[in-house]
Chains A and B, each alone.
Chain A
Amino acid sequence: AQSVTQPDIHITVSEGASLELRCNYSYGATPYLFWYVQSPGQGLQLLLKYFSGDTLVQGIKGFEAEFKRSQSSFNLRKPSVHWSDAAEYFCAVGAQGSQGNLIFGKGTKLSVKP
């Protein structure tokens, strides 16, 4: 069965420091992979997606993610975190032809220290 694991429930980083959020997935075929961000009381906003091609994907707000098939990972990175990045981040996997049905990880809450 498809699944997504985000090992870190809560991460705190200092403003200006680099960030890496981990995501591991389990899926039988080539997955569609996504990272979403959710601010308190808000819906989810797509940061970036991977369907195929270049394994390093650039997204909005300076985020990037790298697809590593051998490690079944899709980690999210940002070189320098801003206080406004504090939010909850969700990794998700989907299947071709069923894009409306995503399997989400439990999320990683990011806190940013001034």
Chain B
Amino acid sequence: KAGVTQTPRYLIKTRGQQVTLSCSPISGHRSVSWYQQTPGQGLQFLFEYFSETQRNKGNFPGRFSGRQFSNSRSEMNVSTLELGDSALYLCASSAEVAGELFFGEGSRLTVL
């Protein structure tokens, strides 16, 4: 069974631009969560989607948004990029009952 796939793996943007990251969960998993990982703040929860509905949201500004499609694939978008948005963005999927998160390898965003 294929794991969680995130694209792109690496990207460089400039301040003020916007970015979209994609996540394909493990087949059969309907829950997708997003995390931001930085050296200073560590791993922080962004949001969780289940069956195309946002179920939980972390404490991030409205510039961070996401969505989930009917096939459970998810995207997150960051608008008006700031230098502080440079981070590794991790996506994780889970089967609802198991409660275990399976993480992708992440998308590393650098904002110049």
Contacts and interface: CB of A to CB of B under 8 A. Distances in A.
Given A106-B42, A107-B42, A45 B58 contact: no
Contacts of B55: 98, 100
Contacts of B94: 99-100
A51 interface: yes
Nearest to B42: A106
Interface of B is mostly: strand
Nearest to A32: B99
B8 to A, nearest CB: 14
Contact of A101 (B32, B58, B98, B106): B58
Interface residues of A, number: 25
Interface residues of B, number: 27
Nearest to B3: A43
Interface in B11-60: 31-33, 35, 42-45, 48, 50, 55-56, 58
Nearest to B43: A104
A43 B43 contact: no
B104 A43 contact: yes
8 closest residue pairs by CB, A with B: A100-B48, A99-B99, A100-B33, A43-B103, A104-B43, A44-B103, A43-B105, A101-B56
Interface of B: 4, 31-33, 35, 42-45, 48, 50, 55-56, 58, 90, 92, 94, 96, 98-106
